[in-house]
């Protein structure tokens, strides 16, 4: 089985760019990744592409071939949809395809256009990642769903809005030098606590923004990288995916994310590492409480202890395990279908040493990316390691 | 979604709750679930029977939603809650109480009411 190398990565700036089509966004990220990899684009054998709300945002289904065309490729191209984990699952399928020996070079990525829908329209489009019959028709929104989990967490394990505010403050701080981030502005705990409520106990600064953007990754087999003199020092050594019941009401427990537990266990076993080996993590913090659930599922903290990790300085830039050095979804932005591979792109740069925040983790060689779909009805975890 | 087309199972449950005859589905292994189902989501058992839904349940978690979708614009703000009825939980809106007075553990009963914005049917919980 080949070791899957990350040959190159590409991102568009994340932010409000309502006039840009998804095809334009993806072309920018995809071409940047191919350029960064230094591969001949004629060697790319397929495109694995993630997108969630294309039908609602720009009346566009069947985006696989459209996106291949946008980056100038005449290859099989398939769209993967798993809500906010769409490009995470695309990544996983590409990794497996390379490992199977079915290809040597693949393009993986995702894009999302959201701001042209406006806040209400984007909220509506995001809501359909929940169960239509039993959640959407009751008025459940995505912030609402995570708010239900946040209150369940507080009731089961304790924790306060102030604990959550420290997560937002940390991720905004991390995003400051990230040229691709939507928000490059520091915030204070007090600002977070006094912001308008979206869905109690979550306020405006507990939520990620509505974002337009794209991301892409070129993956290559070890032999291809060697034979073509491609410098690819980061390998994908583990992949895992877990699932859960669609509706929160059908879950065993509302204060944990079992799908991510399963994805993490599988990815760690695959890479033959444990949570203790991880130096740095990019996790799916669509809401501050989501970061708490993620770092507990990933085994970095016991249940009930993730809530205070940012406040105690454990997950901050100078902590024992920096989380979301990119700014996370919270400050970097969350173009939902692009987020999974954006995390891979940020982590690759962090481990290669060419990320604006690489200085925070000198010598780091194991990174983990955690991408969640919906209210973690889907979860994908990847382990990236420096292999030279 | 065309008008007048029912969602089999789901609309039957709403009708039943409206008639105070709410039910849930029980599999041979005792797991509860809600229609439409052909298999238990917990164990895959395909022998499902209708059992009466308890008349009241306890709020397990809730939120006051201030930012919502166009379909609920005129309903805002509203309380969405997940209510534990024992073998199953149901998600709906809490009415008949000041949102500030809603709490975890509050005992409520289910009913079917309309949304203010669109006049669509939805599950509503009122204090019992």
pLDDT digits 0-9 by tens, A325-361: 999 999 999 999 999 999 999 999 999 999 999 999 9
What local confidence, expressed as pLDDT, does residue A388 receive?
Answer: 79
The alpha-carbon gap from A101 to the nearest alpha carbon of chain B, in Å, equals: 35
B114 touches chain A (CB under 8 A): no
ipTM of the shown complex:
0.96
B72 touches chain A (CB under 8 A): yes
Q: How many CB atoms lie under 10 A from the CB of residue A267?
A: 27
Q: What is the pLDDT of residues A154-186, one digit of tens each?
A: 999 999 999 999 999 999 999 999 999 999 999
From chain A, the residues in CB contact with B62 under 8 A are 148, 151
B50 by DSSP, 3-state: which? strand
If residue A292 lies in a helix (H) or strand (E), which one and from where to where? helix A288-297
Average pLDDT, chain B: 96
Q: What is the pLDDT of residues B54-84, one digit of tens each?
A: 999 999 999 999 999 999 999 999 999 999 9
A286 catalytically annotated: no
CB contact under 8 A, A144 and B80: yes
A334 catalytically annotated: yes
Q: How many CB atoms lie under 10 A from the CB of residue A326?
A: 27
Torsion of CA A141, A146, A152, A155, to 10 degrees: -120
From chain A, the residues in CB contact with B68 under 8 A are 120, 123, 139, 141, 144
What local confidence, expressed as pLDDT, does residue B4 receive?
Answer: 78
Please give the distance of CA B64 from its chain centroid, rounded to a whole number. Answer: 17
Q: Which of A123, A247, A254 has the CB atom closest to B67's CB atom?
A: A123
Residue of B nearest to A127 (CA): B69
The alpha-carbon gap from B128 to the nearest alpha carbon of chain A, in Å, equals: 20
State how beta strands A280-282 and A366-373 pair: parallel
Q: Which of B75, B78, B82 has the CB atom closest to A148's CB atom?
A: B82
Residue A240 CB partners (closer than 8 Å, separation 6+): A262, A263, A264, A265, A266, A267, A268, A269, A270, A380, A381, A382
Q: How far apart are CA A85 and CA A275, in angstroms?
A: 21
**Minimal CA–CA distance to B80: which of A164, B89, A118, B88?**
B89
The two three-digit tokens of residue A232, written as one number:
């690819």
Q: How far apart are the first and last CA of chain B?
A: 35
Q: What is the mean pLDDT of residues B22-49?
A: 98
Q: How far apart are CA A306 and CA A179, in angstroms?
A: 28
* pLDDT beyond 90 at B2: no
Q: Do A75 and A361 touch, CB atoms closer than 8 A?
A: no
Residue of A nearest to B33 (CA): A250
Angle at A99 between CA A97 and CA A105, to 5 degrees: 65
Crossing angle for the helix pair A63-70 and A22-37, to the nearest 10 degrees: 50
Location of structure tokens 């980056």 = A71
A199 touches chain B (CB under 8 A): yes
**Which residue of B24, B42, B67 to mutate against A (max A Cβ within 10 Å)?**
B67
Whole-model pTM: value is 0.98
Q: How far apart are CA A256 and CA B115, in angstroms?
A: 31
B61 by DSSP, 3-state: which? strand
Q: Do A28 and A67 touch, CB atoms closer than 8 A?
A: no
CB contact under 8 A, B78 and A148: no
Q: How many CB atoms lie under 10 A from the CB of residue A162?
A: 13
Q: How far apart are CA A34 and CA A53, in angstroms?
A: 25
Q: How far apart are CA A378 and CA A388, in angstroms?
A: 32
Pick the catalytic residue: A166, A172, A284, A334?
A334
Location of structure tokens 């304790």 = A158
Location of structure tokens 């279908």 = A337
- Below-50 pLDDT ranges, chain A: none
B12 by DSSP, 3-state: which? helix
B67 touches chain A (CB under 8 A): yes
Q: Do A49 and A79 touch, CB atoms closer than 8 A?
A: yes
State how beta strands B32-33 and A366-373 pair: unpaired
Angle at A377 between CA A260 and CA A255, to 5 degrees: 65
Q: Which residues pair with B104 in a beta bridge?
A: none
From chain A, the residues in CB contact with B82 under 8 A are 148, 248-249, 254
Q: Which of A140, A201, A202 has the CB atom closest to B80's CB atom?
A: A140
B91 touches chain A (CB under 8 A): yes
Q: How far apart are CA A16 and CA A116, in angstroms?
A: 9
Q: Do A215 and A6 touch, CB atoms closer than 8 A?
A: no
What local confidence, expressed as pLDDT, does residue A110 receive?
Answer: 98
Q: How far apart are CA A24 and CA A31, in angstroms?
A: 11
Q: Do A381 and A370 touch, CB atoms closer than 8 A?
A: yes
The pLDDT-based confidence of B3 (bands split at 50, 70, 90) is: low
Q: What is the pLDDT of residues B78-104, one digit of tens each?
A: 999 999 999 999 999 999 999 999 999
């Amino acid at each position: 089985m080949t070791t899957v190398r990350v040959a190159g990565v590409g991102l568009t700036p994340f932010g409000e760019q309502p006039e840009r089509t998804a095809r334009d966004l993806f072309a920018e990220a995809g071409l940047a990744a191919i350029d960064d990899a230094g591969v001949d684009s004629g060697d790319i054998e397929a495109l694995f592409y993630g997108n969630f709300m294309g039908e609602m945002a720009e009346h566009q289904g069947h985006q696989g071939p459209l996106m291949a065309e946008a980056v100038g490729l005449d290859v099989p191209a398939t769209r993967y949809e798993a809500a906010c984990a769409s490009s995470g699952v695309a990544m996983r399928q590409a990794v497996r395809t390379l490992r199977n020996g079915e290809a040597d070079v693949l393009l993986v990525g995702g894009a999302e256009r959201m701001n042209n829908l406006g806040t209400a329209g984007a909220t509506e489009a995001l809501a359909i990642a929940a169960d239509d019959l039993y959640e959407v028709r009751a008025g459940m929104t995505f912030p609402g769903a995570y708010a239900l989990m946040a209150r369940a967490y507080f009731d089961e394990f304790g924790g306060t809005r102030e604990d959550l505010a420290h997560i937002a403050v940390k991720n905004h701080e991390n995003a400051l030098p990230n040229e691709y981030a939507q928000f490059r502005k520091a915030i204070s705990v007090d600002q977070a606590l006094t912001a308008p409520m979206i869905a109690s106990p979550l306020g405006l600064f507990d939520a990620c923004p509505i974002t337009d953007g794209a991301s892409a990754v070129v993956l290559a087999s070890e032999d291809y990288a060697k034979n073509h003199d491609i410098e690819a020092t980061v390998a994908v050594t583990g992949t895992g995916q877990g699932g859960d019941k669609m509706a929160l009401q059908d879950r065993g427990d509302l204060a944990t994310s079992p799908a991510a537990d399963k994805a993490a266990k599988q990815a760690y076993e695959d890479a033959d590492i444990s949570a203790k080996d991880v130096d740095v993590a990019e996790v799916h913090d669509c809401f501050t409480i989501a970061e708490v659930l993620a770092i507990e599922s990933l085994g970095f903290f016991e249940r009930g202890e993730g809530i205070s990790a940012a406040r105690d300085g454990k997950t901050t830039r100078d902590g024992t395990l920096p989380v979301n050095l990119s700014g996370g979804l919270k400050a970097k932005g969350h173009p939902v279908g692009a987020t999974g591979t954006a995390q891979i792109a940020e982590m690759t740069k962090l481990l290669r040493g060419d990320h604006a925040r690489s200085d925070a983790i000198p010598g780091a060689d194991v990174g983990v990316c955690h991408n969640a779909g919906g209210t973690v009805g889907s979860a994908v975890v990847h382990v990236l390691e420096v292999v030279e | 979604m065309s008008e007048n087309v029912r969602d089999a199972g789901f609309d039957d449950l709403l009708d039943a709750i409206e008639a105070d005859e709410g039910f849930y589905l029980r599999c041979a292994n005792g797991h509860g679930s809600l229609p439409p189902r052909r298999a238990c989501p917990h164990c895959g058992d395909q022998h499902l029977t209708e059992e009466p839904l308890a008349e009241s349940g306890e709020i397990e978690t809730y939120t006051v939603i201030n930012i919502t979708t166009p379909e609920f614009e005129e309903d805002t703000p509203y309380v969405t809650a997940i209510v534990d009825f024992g073998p199953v939980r149901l998600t709906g809106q809490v009415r008949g109480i000041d949102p500030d007075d809603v709490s975890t553990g509050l005992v409520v009963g289910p009913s079917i009411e309309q949304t203010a914005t669109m006049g669509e049917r939805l599950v509503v919980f009122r204090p019992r």
